Structure 1
Amino acid sequence: MLFSGSLSAPLPPQLRAQPLESRRCRMQGSRTEVATRGADREYLQMGSYTPPSWATHLQARQKPKYCLTHLPTPIHAWPLPGLPSGVDMWIKRDDLTGMQLSGNKVRKLEFLMAKAKQDGRDCVITLGGIQSNHCRATAVAARYLGLDCHLILRNSRQLADQDPGLTGNLLLDRMVGAHIHQVTKEEYTQIGSVKLGQQLERKLRAEGRNPVVIPVGGSNSLGTWGYLEAVAEMEQQVAPERFTDIAMACGSGGTTAGMALGAHLSSLQARVHAFGVCDDPDYFYDYIDDLFQGLGASRDAVGGDARSMLTVHQAKGAGYAMSQPEELETALQVALQTGVVLDPVYSAKAVHGLICLIQSQPEKWKGRRVLFIHTGGLLGVYDKADQLQPLIAGLGTSNRLAVEDA
């Protein structure tokens, strides 16, 4: 059963989705302009996509793609606290991709939203947690492109019948007019995301709409192209230097799939370390292999499978979106020492897991050059304010300024 109330009421005509005007965007690197593939693109404009040369044998052909991102995202040195000496740590700032405060999902949405528009859809449905970054990015992208957006958000049994509030991502969801449908976590687990999406799709079709369901996290074979293309971007940014390892959070699996396959096929040739923030490693290996199959990337076709291309590390801690004190302490120390803010659901868990992994095997990691992919999610910190408060209480000062008379 879907729980929805006035939040899903139709918008008045003057507020209904209208596509925004496109504008030319010229992508630049953090220091000098990077000769990026497709660097001159019309922002919010759809065009055809040509895959990188090392991926032309995959199931790509010519597919549509929107320009929704500000690329390339910068790569810079990142002296993480607590790392043993001899480890050269860097970060790729995919928290700066754009789409109303960033993240990895927008790379997938460039392909997924283009397919929706090409197929004549008038609204999109997607799913996630109550503070889903993917759902927020989808809602904003839909509004940019003149599509209505319906979000199925899982919440606790105690809160699913109440107004979800205006914290973090929810504020942006509601500001762009997304229709919010709440389900309990138990319903989500019992029924599953696929069937929940299908239920709402049938309801909207009965109302005369033409919806499309975008899977959780935008993770399907089409969305995986977002991070195959990100690898092509990275090739140009890091040449001729190379990274030995690439690390990242893994939630729905699509970003990891694209990064692992791209690193395997391209000149990067780096080992990918995915830190799972939910489920278990075996689930991710199997799911990513399924995504590979959808791309025509069988073991025989590409010379490997998920287990040969990446290592999935368990990093979910207390559970998905449930923060342990040591994870938040890591996020706080990283912010204090490097200025980079990690989100508590994905990147904070992944960085905490990465630091612990390297500390446990310092000799193995000595001399290695590691690139961490920051996948965004900044707004998630607002949902952890109560847990962060005692950690932050002793930092800096807050007082009433003694103002002198003029």
Structure 2
Amino acid sequence: MNRFALGILPTPLVRADRLRAAVGCGPLWVKRDDLLGFAVAGNKVRALEHLLGDARARGRDVLVTGGGPDSNFVAAAAQAARVAGLDCELVVWGDPHGTTNLALATAAGARIHPLGSDDRGRVDGEVARLGAELEREGRRPLAVPRGGATPVGALGFACAAAEVVAQWTEAQAPTVVIPVGSGGSVAGLLAGLAGTGWRVLGASVSRPPDEITAAVLALAGATAALLDSPPPCREQLTIVDARGPGFGVASPADRAAADLVLRTEGLLLDDTYGAKAAAVAIEHVAHAGPDPTLLWSTGGLVSALSHVSELRGYRPEVRSHSPEGAP
């Protein structure tokens, strides 16, 4: 595997005892990929290390990918490409103006190509078309679909699986709860956990569970083939519908879960991925009994801070205090 090091690994695996006490459940852990340490990219770093390692090994000079205007991945891809010495071209759906993530991408030198549509499903086709156009112009592009969801990109989470298994000290294998968007992270995790007895519970944030499950299994199989390892076990994977009001929009239950995690563990979760995965994890542990659960914190600080901005209008109760005997 060709890897271009970006993040600080391994990330911590910590007990979430305060959250466990608040929920009243069995053993609960958090994998802190929000602490990966490159820009504010969170777990996106894992895929980008392998994608850019592959690009450099193949002599590519420009990374072409895409996403939404609030995408953590597009900002991370632009920053990582710059560090690796590649140019970056980004296809963006929706309104490309006024978002922090696109400002970060532009600051890193990325060129933005607005899709002119809110149709997220068109992004990957346009990425491929732009890559082909750049190749005709004499460039050497690497065209990558949203989220880096390719077998090479998923290698990052196959490595993460080995990392977390090595950190695990409990006798019983846990259920790992992780958000699922484009599917690359959960596919790599599934490929890396083949034969371990660990289970993966995915919270689908953008596509119907049946659709994304099929895509994840196919991608996990292709990733396992790159590793020359056993194929992933279908029985290890469950994906549930966590879309709620829509992509990037937290439901009241999602927001309540994220607020509880913040109050108990000081962990800030974004509305697109983290809040939805936390809600699924809390629902899961209510029925898991003494079985251990591991919530994978994927990070994405810029998106998480959008919730904090909503708290600026919060007016705390302030009680005046007068010294004893004062009027």
Is TM-score (shorter-chain normalized) higher than 0.5? yes
1:176-195 paired onto structure 2 within 5 Å: 176-189=108-121, 192-195=122-125
Q: Is 1:371 aligned with 2:294?
A: yes
Return the match for 1:346 from 273, 280, 290.
Answer: 273
SS at structure 2 position matched to 1:265: coil
Q: Identify, as 1 or 2, the structure richer in helix.
A: 2
* AA at the equivalent of 1:217: G
Q: Is the 8 A contact 1:127 1:153 kept in 2?
A: yes
Return the match for 2:64 from 118, 125, 131.
Answer: 125
Return the match for 1:324 from 243, 247, 251.
Answer: 251
Deviation of residue 252 (structure 1)?
0.9
Deviation of residue 194 (structure 1)?
3.0
**Equivalent residue number for residue 210 of structure 1:** 140
Please give the root-mean-square deviation of Cα atoms over the aligned residues, in Å: 2.6
Return the match for 1:282 from 202, 205, 210.
Answer: 210
**Equivalent residue number for residue 38 of structure 1:** none
Q: Which moved more, 1:282-291 or 1:323-332?
A: 323-332
* AA at the equivalent of 2:91: I
SS at structure 1 position matched to 2:24: coil
Alpha carbons of structure 1 residues 170 and 303: separation in structure 2 relative to 1, 3 Å: closer
Q: Is 1:302 aligned with 2:230?
A: yes
Structure 1 length normalisation: TM-score?
0.72
Q: What percentage of aligned pairs have identical amino acids?
A: 31
1:243-262 paired onto structure 2 within 5 Å: 243-262=173-192
Return the match for 1:171 from 103, 106, 113.
Answer: 103
Q: Is the 8 A contact 2:2 2:54 kept in 1?
A: yes
Q: For 1:248-277, what per-residue CA distance to the aligned partner results, in whole angstroms no more than 9, with x for missing partners?
A: 1111111111212222334xx211111111
- Mark the runs of 5 or more structure 2 residues left unpaired by the alignment: 319-327
**Equivalent residue number for residue 68 of structure 1:** 6
* Separation of aligned partners in 1, 2:291 and 2:266: 23
* Separation of aligned partners in 2, 1:105 and 1:185: 25
**Equivalent residue number for residue 314 of structure 1:** 241
Q: Is the 8 A contact 1:132 1:169 kept in 2?
A: yes
Alpha carbons of structure 1 residues 293 and 241: separation in structure 2 relative to 1, 3 Å: closer
Alpha carbons of structure 1 residues 211 and 90: separation in structure 2 relative to 1, 3 Å: same
Deviation of residue 239 (structure 1)?
3.5
Q: Which moved more, 1:101-110 or 1:231-240?
A: 231-240
Structure 2 length normalisation: TM-score?
0.88
* AA at the equivalent of 1:173: A
Q: For 1:228-265, what per-residue CA distance to the aligned partner results, in whole angstroms no more than 9, with x for missing partners?
A: 11111112212364442111111111111121222233
Q: Is the 8 A contact 1:261 1:309 kept in 2?
A: no
Return the match for 1:144 from 73, 77, 83.
Answer: 83
Q: Is the 8 A contact 1:81 1:333 kept in 2?
A: no
